[in-house]
């Protein structure tokens, strides 16, 4: 009974996320691509580690759905395609937008912030990943639609819906500052 | 025409920022779809400079009207759109009002490549504002190439041990798992219609 209630509460969170996605409008995918690149260029200028967001950030689209990506889709270790931080951490992400009324709407995202390599016994979570799934899971308690992986692949903690820049803000100005 | 370097619009925006207040430069429009390219430049300037951008056509604009447009306001970015048919007299008129064109915000003179000769001959003062900052509109960087698409697809195929055909089949049957990766997969195989 208790788990049933927990599931119902989790489903309510997903419903709110769904409504919020519908209510949020973003500029067109091309404008978002340009704005994210500008954001990353600014952040690159703030740090010592050299990155070239003009080369790193990629855009693809098909039938009104656009993908804005940086770095590999699956983190398997550092690559020249990641965004590298002074701490030794690295970032990769994929953002999917759907064109709508001259602007766009969020479909899904995945922002993977990999902490610097640690000793095997380190208590470090290893990584943080911010995910927005494109649709609700049948078990919203285990897999909320918008969630954070705190370094454990099977642990997904619900988070409020963040826009693509708000997540980058947390990574650049909160996580990276704390490493 | 001298050889001008080709620069993507994001680099044009960065150069304007480096030049600081009162900066001028010229971008030579591509031959195909110059209006869409001008829109893309406007987007890039707005994103990078974090300022509103206005496109002001030179053709048919009076002295008073142009001065007003450049100074009210005068801190935003302005793209002066010189259409390909701007004639010698119009370039000369523009040159005669050069003092009125000076403003705090950046100015990009957008013109056809073959207009550089007329600019130099009939608007030498405007040409001096621009100096050596004349660039050909370069291709947009970051558009995923076929090779990059294939590389990402291969990464997904190996990770999930699934084929593109199977992903499309599952999407058509509405059986795709909800987590990220699968929508990107559909975009990469050109099936955004299934999202």
Cβ of B192 within 8 Å of Cβ of A132? The answer is no
Which residues make Cβ contacts (< 8 Å) with residue A94, sequence separation at least 6? A67, A68, A69, A70, A73, A109, A110, B180, B181, B184
- Are both B151 and B115 inside the same structural domain? no
Sign of CA dihedral B68, B70, B71, B77: positive
Give the model's pLDDT for residue B120. Answer: 93
Give the model's pLDDT for residue A158. Answer: 92
Give the model's pLDDT for residue A179. Answer: 86
Q: Identify the helix (H) or strand (E) that includes residue B46.
A: helix B34-49
Cβ of B190 within 8 Å of Cβ of A62? The answer is yes
d(CA B81, CA B138) in angstroms, rounded, equals: 17
Percent residues over pLDDT 90 in chain A:
84
- Are both B132 and B161 inside the same structural domain? no
Contacts of A65 in chain B (CB under 8 A): 183, 186-187, 192, 195
- Looking up tokens 């995910």 gives A131
Residue B97 lies in a domain: yes
d(CA B12, CA B49) in angstroms, rounded, equals: 11
d(CA A161, CA A146) in angstroms, rounded, equals: 6
pLDDT in tens, A48-57: 999 999 999 9
Contacts of B178 in chain A (CB under 8 A): 133-137, 143, 145
Q: What mean pLDDT do residues A77-103 have?
A: 96
d(CA A93, CA A70) in angstroms, rounded, equals: 5
Look up the domain containing B175 and give its range: 146-190
Nearest-CB residue to A73 (from B156, B179, B189): B156
- Are both B17 and B113 inside the same structural domain? yes
Nearest-CB residue to B155 (from A60, A73, A133): A73
Cα–Cα distances in angstroms (integers) from residue B28 to residues B12, B121, B137, in the given order: 12, 17, 6
- Are both B61 and B23 inside the same structural domain? yes
Residue B45 lies in a domain: yes
pLDDT in tens, A7-25: 999 999 999 999 999 999 9
In this model, does residue A58 exceed pLDDT 60?
A: yes
- Are both B38 and B92 inside the same structural domain? yes
- Are both B112 and B154 inside the same structural domain? no
Residue B125 lies in a domain: yes
- Are both B49 and B124 inside the same structural domain? yes
When pLDDT is cut at 50, 70 and 90, the band that residue A152 belongs to is confident
Residue B1 lies in a domain: no
Q: Say what the ipTM of the complex is.
A: 0.91
- Are both B90 and B185 inside the same structural domain? no
Taking CA–CA distances from A29, the nearest residue in chain B reads B43
- Cα of B44 to nearest chain A Cα, Å: 6
Give the model's pLDDT for residue B1. Answer: 57
Q: Is the pTM higher than 0.90?
A: yes
Lookup: tokens for A142:
């285990």
- Cα of A88 to nearest chain B Cα, Å: 24
Contacts of B154 in chain A (CB under 8 A): none
- Cα of B182 to nearest chain A Cα, Å: 9
- Are both B65 and B82 inside the same structural domain? yes
pLDDT mean values, one per 10 residues, chain B (195 residues)? 86 93 91 89 96 92 87 94 87 89 94 91 93 92 96 96 97 91 96 95
Residue B195 lies in a domain: no
Taking CA–CA distances from A53, the nearest residue in chain B reads B142
Which residue(s) pair with B26 in the sheet?
B109, B134
Structural domain count, chain B:
2
Q: What mean pLDDT do residues A86-99 have?
A: 97
When pLDDT is cut at 50, 70 and 90, the band that residue A125 belongs to is confident
CB atoms within 10 A of CB B147: 7
| Greatest extent of chain A over all pairs of C-alpha atoms, in Å | 54
Which of A80-84, A124-128, B110-114 ranks highest by mean pLDDT? A80-84
Cα–Cα distances in angstroms (integers) from residue B12 to residues A89, A129, B28, in the given order: 31, 34, 12
Cβ of B184 within 8 Å of Cβ of A67? The answer is yes
């Amino acid at each position: 009974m208790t788990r049933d209630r927990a599931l119902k509460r989790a489903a309510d969170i997903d419903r709110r996320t769904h409504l919020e996605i519908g209510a949020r409008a973003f500029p067109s995918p091309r404008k978002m691509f340009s704005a994210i690149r500008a954001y990353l260029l600014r952040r690159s200028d703030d740090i010592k580690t050299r990155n070239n967001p003009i080369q790193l950030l990629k855009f693809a689209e098909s039938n009104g759905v656009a993908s804005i990506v940086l770095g590999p889709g699956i983190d398997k270790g550092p690559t020249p395609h990641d965004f590298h931080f002074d701490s030794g951490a690295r970032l990769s992400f994929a953002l999917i937008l759907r064109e709508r009324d001259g602007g766009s709407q969020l479909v899904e995202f995945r922002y993977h912030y990999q902490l610097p390599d640690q000793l095997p016994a380190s208590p470090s979570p290893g990584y943080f990943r911010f995910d927005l799934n494109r649709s609700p899971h049948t078990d919203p308690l285990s897999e909320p639609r918008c969630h954070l992986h705190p370094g454990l692949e099977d642990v997904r903690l619900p988070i409020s819906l963040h826009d693509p820049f708000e997540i980058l803000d947390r990574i650049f100005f909160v996580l990276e500052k704390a490493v | 025409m001298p050889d001008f370097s080709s620069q993507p619009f994001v680099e044009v925006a960065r150069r304007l920022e480096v030049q600081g207040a009162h900066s001028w430069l010229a971008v030579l429009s591509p031959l195909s779809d110059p209006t869409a390219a001008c829109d893309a430049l406007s987007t890039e300037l707005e994103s990078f400079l974090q300022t509103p951008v206005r496109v002001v056509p030179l053709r048919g604009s009076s002295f008073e009207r142009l001065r007003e447009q450049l100074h009210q306001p005068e801190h935003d970015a302005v793209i002066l759109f010189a259409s390909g048919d701007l004639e010698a007299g119009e370039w000369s008129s523009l040159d005669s009002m050069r003092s009125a064109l000076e403003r705090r915000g950046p100015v990009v003179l957008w013109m056809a490549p073959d207009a550089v000769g007329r600019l130099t001959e009939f608007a030498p003062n405007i040409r001096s504002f621009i100096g050596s900052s004349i660039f050909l509109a370069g291709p947009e960087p970051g558009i995923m190439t076929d090779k990059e698409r294939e590389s990402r697809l291969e990464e997904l195929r190996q990770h999930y041990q699934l084929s593109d055909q199977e992903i499309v089949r599952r999407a058509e049957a509405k059986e795709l798992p909800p987590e990220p990766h699968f929508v990107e997969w559909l975009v990469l195989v050109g099936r955004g219609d299934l999202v």
